[in-house]
Amino acid sequence: MRAQLTAKTLKSWGIAILMAGLGVFIWACSPSKAKKGSASSDLSKTAADTTRSKSAKSDSPFQNARLKTITSPEREIVGGKYSRLATGIWRPESRDPAKQLAFPEQVAIHCSRDPRQRGECIELSVQLGAIANLVSIQNPESTTYEVDRWDTDGLVASYGDEDWSPCQRHVLTMDFASGAVSVSDVPTHRRGCETYAETNSYRLVRGSYYVDTTPNNDAEKP
């Protein structure tokens, strides 16, 4: 799930973070003046809170002009009574530059249930680590949510406890009619978790990332 790292930490640890657990390199030649974005966050306390990195400031080195997105207006949640599937990319609900994602993330969320059990949702995710001259594909990760409610309208699933994620409760929601999928990191306000004072929410946008390898592909840049 989502992690929080300060801009300073992201900047100083950048290459090490991108190289750790690296499975595939996609070399992407970028212009010398790479487009700058934004990002920021705080160092997470647990493994559960460090799997997704939030944003860094506008001087973040984690940018590559060749990493682009294709999005779709479709919002269907595939499946039926006992199984649902949604895929796409996470986008923050907030427009605050400090809450933008530092590392783009492609995800697939599969929820299933048995009439005799509560059910679960498994989020499979792959982060894309981008710097000026390469885009790295990180190792796949999975996160399991326990279903709290599932009816004809939608479902709510969550995870987080004292051992795995003491500072945040992570809540996933699906609305079957509209196709809306979102996830929120809700602070628990436990002692020692003062850093996690705000709820951060993200919506699932249908689409995918790709590396544009065509010549002069940054021509549209201002």
* Residue range 78-86: mean pLDDT, rounded: 96
pLDDT, tens digit, 9 for 90 and up, residues 148-162:
999 999 999 999 877
- Number of independent structural domains in the chain: 1
150 found inside a domain: yes
Q: What is residue 70's predicted lDDT score, i.e. its pLDDT?
A: 93
**Taking residues 127-147, what's their average pLDDT?**
90
d(CA 172, CA 157): 5
Q: Which domain holds residue 34?
A: 7-211
Mean pLDDT for the stretch of residues 196-207 = 93
The pLDDT of residue 172: 98
- Establish if 1 belongs to a structural domain: no
pLDDT by residue (tens digit) across 19-28?
343 333 333 3
Contacts of 81 (CB under 8 A, 6+ apart): none
pLDDT for the residue 66: 86
Between 208 and 10, name the one with better pLDDT.
Answer: 208
